[in-house]
A and B are shown apart, each in its own frame.
Chain A
Amino acid sequence: MPARSATPPSIGFRLLLPILATALGFGALVLALTEMPLLNLAGNRLAQGRPLFAGLVLGGLLPVILALSGLALGLLMGSRRRASAGAAIVLLAGAVLALAYGLGDGAARSLGGLPPAARASLGPGSWFAAALLMTGVGLAVRRADRPGLGWLITLGGILGFGLLANSGAVGALSLAVEYAARREAVNAAIGEHLILSGAALGLAGIGAVLLSLPRRGQGVVAMVLTGVQVIPAVALLGALVAVTAGLLRALPILRDLGLSALGPAPAIVAIAAYLALPLWRGLALALRSPDHASLEAAEAMGLSPGQILIRLRLQLGAPILVGALRVAAVQSLGLATLGALVGAGGLGRIVFDGMAQFAPDLILLGAIPVVALSLGTERGLSAVEAAARRRWHA
C-alpha cells in the first residue's frame, strides 16, 4: 500500500469508489452473459453464423455463474480480510469452471443433428465474461497478498483447463475442433517460434557483449542501435531478404551451408538487430552499477579485474541484466511472429494462414500461444528480477 502522507481524499469518495467499481464490474458481467451472443453457430468454419444467447447455451447454469461471481464480488467489496479474498478466489474459480463447462455443453447441444462441418465458435459475450472473471481473480489474488499465490492460481488454471479439455467437455467448441485438426502443426510451430526467438536472443546477446567491449566509439554504437529501433520490422525483414539473396549469389558456398534468402536466417538477424539495444544498454548499466567506493575497496583488497567483474559488477548489476533480458525476450517472442512473413515458420505462419483464409479460429490458434508465451516470459523473468534485487540489494 502506498503511504498516505498528505490529506486523504474525502471519506465519501473512498467508500463510494469500491462500491461503484463492483457494481460496474458485476453489471458488465450480467450484460455480457445475458445480452451479448455467447456462441456463434455457422454452417462451416468460414461461414458467417448466427448468434446464440445465454438461454440456449447456458440454461440453468447462468444463475449459478451469476450467483457465484456476485457473491465473490460482494466479499471483495465488503471485507478487506485475506480470508474473504481466498473465498472470493474459490467462488470465482467455480464461476469460470461453470462458464467453460456450460459453453462446451451448449456448443455440443447446439451442434447436435447438424452436419460435421458446422462450427460453434465463442462469441463476444463469452470472451468479455471470461476477461471480467479473470480480472476478478487477479484482484482477489492481489488482495490475498500471499507470495506465490498468483503462480499457484495460474498453474491450477492451466491444469484445470487441461483436464476439462482432456475430458472432452469443451471439445465441441470450434477452437478445440480446429486445434484437434492441426495439433501437430501448432505444436511444431510453438517449437519453431521458441527456437527462432531463442536464437535471435542468443545472437543479440553475443552482439551486445562484443559491441560493449571497445572503450571508444560507444557513442556511435548507441546511435546505430537507436537508429535500428526506428526502422519498422516489416521493412528490415524485407531488406535482409534482399541482402541475403545478394550475398548468396556472390558467395554460393553459403548455400551449401544451408543458408537461404527466405527462411529463418534473415528473420533471426532482423529480430536480433532490435534486441541488441536493450541488451547492450542493460549490460552497460549493469557494469556501472557498483559505486566508486566499493570498486576502490575491491581493488585495495587485491581483487583482480576479472574477480571484480564477476564478484562485484555482474552480481550488483544482476537485476538490471535480468531486466534487460526480460524486455528483449518479450520483444523477441513478439517479433518472431513477423518472421513467418519471410518464411521463417513459427506461430506467425498459423496467424497469417488464418488471416489469409479469414478464419478467426485459426488466427486465435496462433495468437493465443504467442500471448501466453510472452506473458509467461514477462512474469517469469520479472520474478527472477525481483529475486535478484532481493538477493543482492537487501
Chain B
Amino acid sequence: MRISLHPALGFSLSGLILAIASHPAVASRVADALGEPARRPLETVRLLDLAGRHLILAGTGLALVALLGIGLGLLVTRRFAAPWRPAVDGLAAAAQAVPPVVVVALALPILGFGGPPTLLALVAYGIMPVLRGTVGAIEGVAPEVREAGRAIGLNRWQVLLRIELPLAAPDLVETLRTALVLAIATAAVGALAGAATLGTPIVAGLQNQNTVAMLQGTAATAALAFLADAALLTAVALWRATRP
C-alpha cells in the first residue's frame, strides 16, 4: 500500500504547490519576477467557479467514457466477438490519430459554442483509448487461469467477475488514469470552443497579453490535473487496502 500511495503523494504535493501559485497574490508576484507588466489578476471566487465547471465537465465526460469504453472493451473481448476484433482494433487506432483539438473544432459547427461540443469531443476522443486499454487488460489475463475457472465449473459471468476483472484491475486503473488526464486536458482545450473552464483565462490571457491571468489559469489547470490524478490513485489504494 505504501508503494501505491507514493506517486499519489508526489502528485498531490505538486498539485498543492500549483494551486497556491494560482492564487492572485502569488501569481502577481511570479509575473512581476518574470518582468511582466502588472495586470489585474483573476479573483479567487472566479477561479474556484471555473475550477468547479472544469471538474463537472471533465467528470461527466470521464464517467461516460469509462462506462462506454470499458463496456465496449469487455464486449469485444467475449468469444463471440472474435471475428470483429480486427475491425475494432483498426477503428481504435484510427480514432486516436485525430487530436482532441480537432474533435473540439469539428464539433463546433454542429453543436455550437460552449460545453456540449467539448463534452462530445471528450467522449468521442476518450472512448477508444479506454476500449484499447480494457482489451489489453483483459487479454493480459493468462488463458490458463481462465480455463482453470471454467474447469472448476464457473459460468461466463463468474469467470468475468471473479477472475478476469480482478486480475485486470491494475491495468484498468492505469487506463482510467490516462482517461482522466485526457478529460482534464480536453476540458481545458474546450475553452477555445467557448466552454467556461480553467482553460478560459489561459486562452484569454494569451490574446490580451494578460500574463497574470494566464499564469493563474495555467497553474490552476495543472493543479487540478495533479490533484485529480492523486485522488484517483488514493481512492484505488484505499479500496485495495479495505478489501480482504
Contacts and interface: CB of A to CB of B under 8 A. Distances in A.
Contact of A355 (B96, B98, B193, B229): B193
B34 A231 contact: no
B49 interface: no
A232 B221 contact: yes
Nearest to B230: A230
Which of the listed residues A250, A333, A337 has the most CB atoms from chain B within 10 Å of its own CB?
Answer: A337
Given A246-B35, A364-B106, A234 B97 contact: no
Contact of A232 (B82, B83, B193, B199): B199
A224 B185 CA distance: 18
Interface stretch (A55-63, A169-177, A303-311, A368-376): A368-376
A341 B79 CA distance: 46
Given A6-B79, A232-B222, A374 B99 contact: yes
Interface of B is mostly: helix
Interface size class of A (residues with CB under 8 A): 35 or more
A370 B229 CA distance: 30
Contacts, number: 155
B83 to A, nearest CB: 8
A242 B211 contact: yes
Given A9-B80, A235-B218, A335-B99, A227 B11 contact: yes
A334 interface: yes
A13 B79 CA distance: 12
Interface in A73-132: none
Interface in A337-381: 337-338, 341-342, 348, 351-352, 354-355, 358, 360, 363-364, 366-367, 370-371, 374-375, 377-378
Of the listed residues A227, A230, A236, the one surrounded by the most CB atoms of chain B closer than 10 A to its CB is A230
Given A245-B35, A348-B101, A235 B202 contact: yes
A367 B83 CA distance: 32
B163 to A, nearest CB: 15
A228 to B, nearest CB: 10
Contacts of B36: 242, 245-246
B221 A234 contact: yes
The winner among A234, A338, A364, A371 for most chain B CB atoms within 10 A is A234
A249 B225 contact: no
A377 B191 CA distance: 29
Contact of A231 (B93, B215, B225): B225
Contacts of A363: 105-106, 108-109
B123 interface: no
A139 interface: yes
Contact of B218 (A2, A239, A351, A352): A239
A375 to B, nearest CB: 5
B1 interface: no
B225 A351 contact: no
What is the predominant secondary structure among interface residues of chain A facing chain B?
A: helix
B45 interface: no
Contact of B188 (A2, A6, A235): A235
A154 interface: no
A375 B202 contact: no
Nearest to B192: A355
Given A233-B185, A236-B218, A370-B99, 15 more contacts: A2-B82, A2-B85, A142-B87, A230-B181, A232-B185, A232-B189, A234-B202, A235-B217, A235-B218, A238-B214, A243-B34, A246-B33, A262-B206, A354-B105, A363-B105
26 contacts: A2-B85, A142-B86, A223-B10, A227-B14, A227-B226, A230-B181, A231-B226, A232-B184, A232-B199, A233-B185, A238-B217, A239-B215, A242-B31, A245-B35, A246-B34, A249-B34, A249-B35, A330-B97, A334-B100, A335-B99, A338-B99, A351-B101, A354-B105, A366-B105, A367-B102, A367-B106
